[in-house]
Amino acid sequence: MHFLFRGWVRSSRAMAAGGSLIALAARGADVVAPATAAPVAAAKLAQAPEVMEGPFFEVAAPDYASAQTVLRMTQRMQENLARYFTWPDVVVRAIQVQMVPAEQANFKAPFLVQSEPDGHRIALVRWDAETKFSDVCLAISSAALEQLADWQNGHAAAARVPDWLKVAFGMELLTSLKPVAVDDLVEQAGRLPSLALRQIMTARGPYGDALPVLEVNAYWLARFLRQECADMTAAKTLFRALAAGTAPDAALRAAFPDQFPDPQTMELWWAVGYHDMVAGRGQPIQAMAQTRALLDNLQAIVVELGGHDQRVGLEAAWEIRTSPRARVALQEQLKQARAALPWSNPVYYNTVWSLAACLETLQHDDKKAYDAAWKRYTDDRAKAEATEYQVIEAMAAK
């Protein structure tokens, strides 16, 4: 496979000429179709690109700082998708993300995703001072979802991943890395047209100037669906069905049985939900400190021990979970955690999600599942707090 940096070849395998252009990246009519986007012929450069590797992604960029930044983005993407999809234990070839200098790129879209004959995905991003952070997020999301589908269900499955889902997870990556982007999405939701459920879930590009409309609607739809699901298991089942290309109506009816007697009821359900989340009097997105304080409150319960009320952290809740008072308290904490998800600060969104998953395990008798969920929560909490610190430092430096 050739990297699209002139003068540097990673391996002798040629990229498939018929790779698929991700239409959602198209912002205008001057898009070179993938069939014309053959690799650039090798010619020597003074400096080879920086290449960094993780467990599932390999990033190539013109300089160290760019490669490091994008690699961190791919790592966050993997963490976000792991909420719903199973990543393989080991991969033979990592998903490749190439930041191609604009003067060397032989494609005109902000990015495109191509596949090799074996199904391996390569995301190519035009890289210069004008590159939009959101385009990089969409490129990573698109390549990751297609590759996951290929790994799990074969080469044909990648084509069935709907555009809106790639956009939704791209926007989730954006907001998890740049929390201020949520404010922009809230503002845009009040200004841009809302789309019908079927319009979003069956959208096909190119979108041109309409891409921001899909970005806003897809982002809030994904959050709405997670909020409406009864529990984390239900959310995983729904998003896996949607990613597998299950017809939207069928996937939603399976996730919410007996709730939609007709298509009009389903559309009304989304319209009301969208309005309540962003266009009505909905609660504003929390500041980082607010969501962190919420987590502090939710990760402990008050129970009676030795004749006195005591505050017990979830790390010690397993042994007392079956007592009547603890059971009620844990159910209430789980309810509050789920309700908080739509308004949680993006930096801590994954942490609230994993805390809810941990609380859910305390409703059952699987100790291993509880131990794994608690570890995931503490890991997510540590990462979120580190990100909060970085955000505060960056703001202070301005």
Answer yes or no: are the C-beta atoms of 378 and 214 closer than 8 Å: no
Q: At 114, is the secondary structure helix, strand, or coil?
A: strand
pLDDT the model gives residue 279: 57
- pLDDT category of residue 47 using cuts at 50, 70 and 90: low
Q: Residue 192: is its pLDDT beyond 90?
A: no
The mean predicted confidence, pLDDT, of the chain is 82
The predicted-structure confidence for 302-341, as pLDDT tens digits, reads as follows 877 777 778 888 888 898 888 888 888 888 888 888 878 8
The confidence score (pLDDT) of residue 91 equals 87
Bridge partners for 97 per DSSP: 59, 123
How many whole angstroms separate alpha carbon 297 and alpha carbon 237?
29
Distance in angstroms between the alpha carbons of the first and the last residue of the chain: 42
pLDDT score of 311: 85
Report the percentage of the chain scoring pLDDT > 90: 43
Token pair belonging to 240: 């896996």
Distances (CA, A) of 367 to 40, 79, 203, 263, 360: 54, 23, 42, 42, 12
Q: How far is CA 326 from the centre of its chain?
A: 33
The pLDDT tens digits for 291-304 are 999 999 888 888 77
Closest by Cα among 152, 267, 284, 206 to 31: 206
Mean pLDDT of 81-99: 91
Give the pLDDT of residue 35.
30
C-alpha 25, offset from chain centre:
17
- Residue 38's pLDDT is what? 37
Contact, 49 vs 5, CB < 8 A?
yes
Per-residue pLDDT band at 286 (split at 50, 70, 90): confident
Check pLDDT > 50 for residue 151: yes
Whether the Cβ atoms of residue 350 and residue 358 lie closer than 8 Å to each other: no
**Cβ contacts of 207 within 8 Å, gap of 6 or more:** 23, 24, 26, 27, 213, 214
More confident of the two residues 90 and 8: 90
Looking at residue 202, its pLDDT comes to 93
User: What pLDDT, on the 0 to 100 scale, is given for residue 193?
Assistant: 86
- Are 202 and 248 a contacting pair, CB within 8 Å? yes
Question: β-pairing, 50-53 with 111-115?
Answer: unpaired
Higher pLDDT, 342 or 390: 390
The pLDDT value given to residue 272: 86
For residues 263 and 194, give the distance between their C-alpha atoms in angstroms, rounded to a whole number: 17
36-45, 105-114, 191-200, range with the lowest pLDDT: 36-45
Asked whether the predicted pLDDT for residue 30 surpasses 60, the reply is no
The arithmetic mean of pLDDT across residues 237-260, rounded, is: 94
Mean pLDDT across the stretch 276-290?
Answer: 71
Q: CB-based contacts of 324: which residues, under 8 Å, 6+ apart?
A: none
Tokens of 98: 């190439």
Whether the CB-CB separation of 320 and 336 falls below 8 Å is answered with no
Fold for domain 23-158? Glutaredoxin (3.40.30)
Question: What global pTM score does this model have?
Answer: 0.71
Please give the pLDDT value at position 227.
84
Domain limits of the chain?
A: 23-158, 164-279, 288-397
Give the mean model confidence (pLDDT) for residues 366-370: 92
Q: CB neighbours of 212 closer than 8 A, spacing ≥ 6?
A: 188, 192
Using DSSP bridges, classify how beta strands 308-313 and 300-305 pair: parallel, antiparallel or unpaired: antiparallel
> Dihedral sign, CA of 101, 103, 108, 110?
positive
